[in-house]
Amino acid sequence: MNACLNECQAAIDAVKELLETHFQEAEDCADEDGKFSLGFRVSFDRSHSPTKLKVTCRVAKVTTDEIECSIDDPAQPKLPL
């Protein structure tokens, strides 16, 4: 149980450090609505002693784009006006 608490605390500390390091960069990537995200992945490898911890941070900008148009049915001939 104590090992689990130590591993969890180490992961939380790493996430906090990455959040503080990359928050401004992520904020600078915000879209026109102010949306941005930071994603974190925490991996534990207990096949070694001591446990190896890897925390990855991903910064992403939310981009939305849209095109709307009408497509004529090629099987329908155009009617004369």
pLDDT, tens digit, 9 for 90 and up, residues 46-55: 998 889 999 9
Burial of 52 (0-12, 13-18, 19+ CB in 10 A): exposed
pLDDT in the model for residue 72? 82
**Distance (Å, whole) CA 70 – CA 49:** 63
Domain positions in the chain are: 2-61
Tell me the mean pLDDT in the region 58-79: 78
Tell me the mean pLDDT in the region 10-39: 92
Which residue bears the tokens 């925490």? Answer: 42
- State the average pLDDT for the chain: 87
Tell me the mean pLDDT in the region 21-42: 91
Tell me the mean pLDDT in the region 8-32: 92
